[in-house]
Structure 1
Amino acid sequence: MSLPATHREVRLAALPEGALTPGHFEVVTAPVPVPGPGQVLVRNRLMSVAAVMRPLALADPDTFGLPQLLHKTGEVMRGPALGEVLRAPGTELAPGTLVHHRAGWREYAVLDAARASPIDPEALPDPAAHLSQGFAAWLGVVRGAGVRRGDTVFVTGAAGGVGSLAGQFARLHGAERVIGSTGSRHKADRLTGELGYDAVVLRGAGPIEEQLRAAAPDGIDVLLDTVGGEQLRAALALARRNARFALVGALSAQLSDDASAPTGISTLALIARGVTLRGISAMDHQDAMPAYLREFGRALREGALTYPYTRLTGIGQAPRALCELVAGRHLGAVLVEL
C-alpha cells in the first residue's frame, strides 16, 4: 500500500511547573519513519492516555529504574497503543497484524519487532480493552494483596483507569465490602451506582481518615493504592491485623512538582499489626498475563465486569485528553482514536 510522506506526532514542548496545560505539548508534522531489518512499521489506530503519563522530572531517575515514565523536552511522548503492521522486513509479523506496543502519541511508529505484541482477537471481546489498565488492577488484587472472601477493601483513586477495574476484580475475588476514593460527587455516584462500590471517600470533603473510619468502622483488610500520601496514611490507621497493602501507583506525588515526595508512615504500626506493604509493577509479572486475559475476557463476556472508558478522535486531542484526565475530568480509561 502507498504511504503518506508525513504524519503527526505529539512532542513535549516544556516540562510543567504547576498545572499541566495543552501548551506543554506540540503536535508536529514529521516524515513517516522507515523500518529497517528486524523492525516493523505500524499505523496506530488507538492509543491510551493515563495520568501516569504526566511529564515529570526526577533529580535521580536511575534510582527508580522507570525510564518509561520520563520524557525530555522535544521528544515524542510515549504510551500504549494498538496498531496495524504495514511493513515488517525480516520479521515473522505479517502486514495486517494488529499489535500492542508502547509507541503511541504518533500516527505511524517504527519499532523493533520484539516490542510489538500481536493481539489475540479472541482474548477480549473489545479490542480497546487491550489498552485498559486492568492488568495493574488485577495484579494488585491477585498477587499484590491476595484478596479473599470476606475482605473489606479500600481502593484509592477508584475512578481512574486502575481503580475503576480494581474494585470490580476485588468483588470477583470475594471481597465483602469495597470502598473507593475519588474527587467528585458525580464520580462517587457512578462508582456506587455502576461499578459495585459500597461506599466512597471524597477528597476535599473532610479528613480522609475520618471518612474511611465511617465507611469501614471495623477496619480494612486490603488496600489497593494508586495514590499514596494522605490516603495511604489513613488506610494504615484503619488496617486490621495482617492487612495486605498493594501499592500500584503514587499519583499524589507524580501529579505534583515533586515526583519523588515521600509519604510518612508509622513503621511501628506496620509491625504491631503485621501489615504487609508491597509495591507491585506489571513489568515484574508478565508471566501472569495469560491468566489475567482469561479472567478479564470471561468477566467482560459474561457481564460480570465492565470496562469504562472515554474515546476521543484525532491525535490533536491527545494533549487535551491528558490534561483533562490529570484534572479529574474523566472516569475510567481515556482513549484517543487516530
Structure 2
Amino acid sequence: MTITAQVVHQVARPSGFPSPSDFAFREQHLAAPGPGEALVENLLLSVDPYHRELMDEAGLTSGATVWGLDSPLEGRSIGRVLTSADPSLTPGDLVYHRHGWRTHALVRASEVRVLPRYGGVPLTSFLSVLGGTGLTAWVALTRTLRLAPGDDLFVSAAAGGVGTAAGQFARLLGAGRIVGSAGSPAKVDRLVSELGFDAAFDYHDGPVADLLAKAAPDGVDAVVENVGGDHLEAAIASLREGGRVAWVGAVAQYNSRSTPPPAPRNLFDVVGRSLRLEGVMVRNHLDAQASLEDFAVPHIRSGTLVPQETVVDGFEHTVEAFLGMLRGGNVGKMIVRVGS
C-alpha cells in the first residue's frame, strides 16, 4: 500500500514577517510501514509562535532545530493509526506526535503518545490546554512561579494559547488579582468577561509599563511573560520585592531578528528587589503531563475550564492559519483541522 500525503515545505527564508511564498504544498509518497512503524492519518495540526523562529538560519531558542528548506516541517499533531507494523500501536489508536504540517506520516512508537479517551473532553484539548500549550502554562505556574493562593499575577499576550490557559489555571489555583495584556479591545473584553481576569489592557493604548501600573496599582507577585521587550520591562517594574517571572516566549522579536528590541532598561532591578527571572522550556518538564491532566480534566468536564481554541478547517489553509496566528488573529490555541 502506498499513500500520497500532502505536505507543507518551507522553500525560502523570510525577511521580517513571513509570506505565503515562503511555503509550498507538495506531495510525498509513503510506503507501507516497516517493522516498528505505523502509518498515521493526521486529524489536527498545531501552528505555534515558536515555528517562526525555526524558519530562520539560526533559531532563537537554545537547542532549537532550524527547519531545513524543501523538506517537511515539524509540528505537534494528533492523528489516527491506519496501519501498523508495531504491536504497541493498533489501527484506530489516536496518537500525539510531532510529524505535523502534513496529512499523513510514518511514525515509530517511541515518537508518539497514545492518547487516553476522556469522556467529555474534546480531542482538540490535547493540542490546547492538555497539549504543549497548556503544559507550558501549567509548568510556568506550578513549577517556575510556584503560584500560591492569593498571589497577584500578570500574563502578557493573555489572549493567546498559553495566556488563556495560564489565566484560567491561575484562577482555579486560587490566584488573587489577575491582569492580562492583549492586542485588541475585543480580546481585552473577553479576558475579563469570560476567562477570569480581573483587569486587562490593549497594549496599543500606550506605554505598557503605564498601562500595567494602572491595571495593577499595587504591583504583582508573579508574571507569565510571553512577549519580551517592553512587556518584560513593564513586568519587572510591576513586581513586588521577591517577585518571580516565568519567561515563556518573545513574540515581540520573532519577526525582527536583525533589529531585536533592547534589553529591558530596568534589568538590574532583578538584583535590587531580589526578583527571580527564569526561562520555561516545556520539553524539560514532560513529566508534568500527568499532574496537568489530573488537574484539568475534571475542570473541563465540569465546565469550569473551557479550552480556548481557534480552529481552521482544511489542510490547504495551514499556512494561512499560521500567518493569521502570528498576526494575532486567534483567541487561544490556533489549530488546523485536517479531517473529521
Distance 1:59 1:45, change over 3 A: closer
Give ranges in structure 1 of 5+ residues lacking alignment. Answer: none
Q: Select which of 5, 24, 27 maps to 2:25.
A: 27
Task: Note the aligned Cα RMSD (angstroms).
Answer: 2.0
Give ranges in structure 2 of 5+ residues lacking alignment. Answer: none
Q: Is the 1:123–1:293 contact (alpha carbons within 8 Å) kept by the matching residues of 2?
A: no
Instruction: Tell me how far apart the structure 2 counterparts of residues 87 and 262 of structure 1 sit (CA, whole Å).
Output: 52
AA aligned opposite 2:107: L
AA aligned opposite 2:81: V
Give the drift of 1:7: 2.0
Q: Is the 1:9–1:315 contact (alpha carbons within 8 Å) kept by the matching residues of 2?
A: no
Give the drift of 1:225: 0.7
Is 2:44 the partner of 1:46? yes
Q: Is the 1:225–1:246 contact (alpha carbons within 8 Å) kept by the matching residues of 2?
A: yes
AA aligned opposite 1:97: D
Q: Is the 2:232–2:264 contact (alpha carbons within 8 Å) kept by the matching residues of 1?
A: no
Q: Is the 1:91–1:113 contact (alpha carbons within 8 Å) kept by the matching residues of 2?
A: no
Give the drift of 1:156: 0.7
Cα deviations across residues 72-127 of structure 1 (Å, max 9, x unaligned)? 22121211111111222144211111100011111110122101110001287111
Q: Is the 1:56–1:259 contact (alpha carbons within 8 Å) kept by the matching residues of 2?
A: no
- TM-score, length of structure 2 as denominator length: 0.92
Distance 1:307 1:175, change over 3 A: same
- Residue of structure 1 in register with 2:8 after alignment: 10
Distance 1:113 1:121, change over 3 A: same
Give the drift of 1:32: 2.7
Give the drift of 1:235: 0.8
- TM-score, length of structure 1 as denominator length: 0.93
Provide the aligned length of Structure 1 versus Structure 2.
334
- Residue of structure 2 in register with 1:176 after alignment: 176
Q: Is the 1:124–1:130 contact (alpha carbons within 8 Å) kept by the matching residues of 2?
A: no
Instruction: Tell me how far apart the structure 2 counterparts of residues 31 and 192 of structure 1 sit (CA, whole Å).
Output: 48
Q: State the secondary structure of the residue aligned to 1:146.
A: coil
Q: Is the 2:14–2:55 contact (alpha carbons within 8 Å) kept by the matching residues of 1?
A: no
Q: State the secondary structure of the residue aligned to 2:8.
A: strand
Q: State the secondary structure of the residue aligned to 2:5.
A: strand
Superposition pairs for residues 1-338 of structure 1, below 5 Å? Answer: 5-54=3-52, 56=54, 61=59, 64-67=62-65, 70-122=66-118, 125-132=121-128, 133-258=133-258, 263-338=263-338
Instruction: Tell me how far apart the structure 2 counterparts of residues 123 and 289 of structure 1 sit (CA, whole Å).
Output: 18
Instruction: Tell me how far apart the structure 1 counterparts of residues 168 and 236 of structure 2 sit (CA, whole Å).
Output: 22
Instruction: Tell me how far apart the structure 2 counterparts of residues 230 and 62 of structure 1 sit (CA, whole Å).
Output: 18
| Identity value in percent | 34
Give the drift of 1:33: 4.3
AA aligned opposite 2:96: H
Q: Is the 1:33–1:108 contact (alpha carbons within 8 Å) kept by the matching residues of 2?
A: no
Instruction: Tell me how far apart the structure 1 counterparts of residues 32 and 233 of structure 2 sit (CA, whole Å).
Output: 50
AA aligned opposite 1:52: Y
Instruction: Tell me how far apart the structure 1 counterparts of residues 257 and 285 of structure 2 sit (CA, whole Å).
Output: 30
Give the drift of 1:329: 1.1
AA aligned opposite 1:195: L
Cα deviations across residues 247-306 of structure 1 (Å, max 9, x unaligned)? 111211223334976633544311221111111111111111101011111111121111
